[in-house]
Amino acid sequence: MKICLFHLMPYRFLPDDFETRYRSVWVDVPHSLFNPQKCHLLYNEFLDELEHAERMGFDGLCVNEHHNNAYGLMPSPNLMAAALARRTSRAALVVLGDSLALYNPPLRVAEEFAMLDVISGGRLVAGFPVGTSMDTNFAYGITPTTLRERYYEAHDLVMQAWTRPEVFAFNGKYTQVRYVNIWPQPLQKPHPPVWIPGGGSVETWEWTARLDYVYCYLSYFGYKHGKKTMDGFWEAISRPGADDNPYRAGFLQLVGVSETDAQAERDYGPHVHYFYQKCLNVWEGFAEAPGYRTLRTLQSGARPQVGLAAKQIRQALTWKEYVEQGYIIAGSPGTVREQLSDCVEKLRVGHLMVLLQIGSLPKDLTLKNIELFGKEVLPHLRGVWPAAEDRWWPSGARPTFGGSPG
């Protein structure tokens, strides 16, 4: 079992009335709400938290790309991964990821990922998300109906740039390059392991199976609601004949560990509320541009995680309901161990990503959450899937020992 700390790097200084006064945390959130001095402190706090996770035995550190928003302050996750490459030595650097369709040319992704892989000594996991509708269609202006076609073409260019031994020309529909010849090349051969973050697209399931990639379900509905999606994934990849190795799958879960179940509510309750009511407050018009989701995915019944319908579901939830419905696994170490074991076994996931800095959670409580998780929870999850082989882990990432700060 591999356990990674996933970090969104949210802006935790939104006004109390944000969700009623402003229509969206994404795309058109006003500049007047942003304070660069406060953000300077935030970036350094966030990096401290990720570095502390390695000391606490986490296997990987996850960063991700978003634009025009206060939900996640990482328009360039590669910058954060570069900082971590020099300040860590063992953990995998899981960049989930670079939104391929937004780069012109996509060779920029191939080059920067290669740099990260070489600097880190082969610790990079290359994440290739399609990207949210807010980021791709509205913030960066990509036509929704061309998004996936651009994405697939960009993916092919990156993979060829990493694996073809000679200088070559690439003549795609969206990108034409006379001399593809990136320097440096990745340290890992034939290329870094590839993980594909997703939100339940049927085509993504089948594509990851065909190319032998890891599928990562980044769910904010939690593991109980996520079971239907993961069941659909395992069923879909069985059709082309892929095996059921649990390391084919990753899952994101919010977690809060404290001394007792009651203390967990006091520690994390207000910040979970901030996350769901403010950080996921996305105007319906931005949530999914027409043509963003394919017809097959719409027919599958996959639910968007932001927008009006999602907001109405979560609007009236209490702490007790967040916990009971699995949005967050929170409580004493024993409570969290029991529920997380249930989560990974029922969903059959070998790569667990935990969100331990949630919404407005300050640094002291985040470090507490990381430390308690590392010492009291992580070691107990190590024995899950003992017979499975993780073929999707970076070769330069060194084994860690849960809870040991050595």
Instruction: Read off the pLDDT of residues 34-68 as tens digits, 9 standing for 90 and up.
Output: 999 999 999 999 999 999 999 999 999 999 999 99
Mean pLDDT of 4-33: 97
Q: Exposure of 290 by Cβ count < 10 A (0-12 exposed, 13-18 middle, 19+ buried)?
A: exposed
Residue 91 to residue 93: CA distance in whole angstroms: 6
Residue 379 to residue 246: CA distance in whole angstroms: 19
> Percentage of the chain with pLDDT > 90?
86
168-189 confidence digits (pLDDT tens) = 999 999 999 999 999 999 999 9
With contact defined as beta carbons under 8 Å apart, do 159 and 212 qualify?
no
DSSP state of 195: E
Q: In the numeric block, which tokens belong to residue 390?
A: 């993780």
Describe the chain by its helix, strand, coil percentages, rounded to 5.
45, 15, 40
Give the per-residue pLDDT at 401: 60
Residue 229 to residue 82: CA distance in whole angstroms: 33
In 3-state terms, what secondary structure has residue 152? helix
End-to-end Cα separation, the chain, in angstroms: 20
> In residues, how long is the chain?
406
Give the per-residue pLDDT at 294: 72
Domains observed in the chain: 2-381 (3.20.20.30)
Write out the DSSP string of 329-371: EEESHHHHHHHHHHHHHHHT-SEEEEE-S-TT--HHHHHHHHH
Residue 177 to residue 399: CA distance in whole angstroms: 40
Residue 24 to residue 26: CA distance in whole angstroms: 5
Give the per-residue pLDDT at 90: 98
With contact defined as beta carbons under 8 Å apart, do 169 and 190 qualify?
no
With contact defined as beta carbons under 8 Å apart, do 282 and 235 qualify?
no
DSSP state of 77: H
CA 166 to chain centre: 33
Mean pLDDT of 317-327: 95
143 or 296: which leads in pLDDT: 143
Which ranges constitute the DSSP H helices of 239-280?
261-274
257 or 305: which leads in pLDDT: 257
72-87 confidence digits (pLDDT tens) = 999 999 999 999 999 9
210-268 confidence digits (pLDDT tens) = 999 999 999 899 999 999 999 999 999 998 889 999 999 999 999 999 999 999 999 99
Q: Residue 6, by phi and psi: left (phi above 0), alpha (psi -120 to 50) or beta? A: beta
Residue 94 to residue 141: CA distance in whole angstroms: 26
In 3-state terms, what secondary structure has residue 26? strand
Residue 165 to residue 297: CA distance in whole angstroms: 37
Q: In the numeric block, which tokens belong to residue 72?
A: 């996640």
Split at pLDDT 50, 70, 90, the class of 202 is: confident
Q: Where are the beta strands (DSSP E) in 64-189?
A: 92-95, 124-127, 168-171, 176-180
With contact defined as beta carbons under 8 Å apart, do 47 and 79 qualify?
no
Q: Residue 268: how many CB atoms within 10 A of its CB?
A: 28
| pLDDT above 90: residue 312 | no
Give the per-residue pLDDT at 399: 80
- Which run of H or E residues covers position 81? helix 77-87
With contact defined as beta carbons under 8 Å apart, do 172 and 199 qualify?
no
The answer, as to whether pTM is greater than 0.85, is: yes
With contact defined as beta carbons under 8 Å apart, do 118 and 187 qualify?
yes
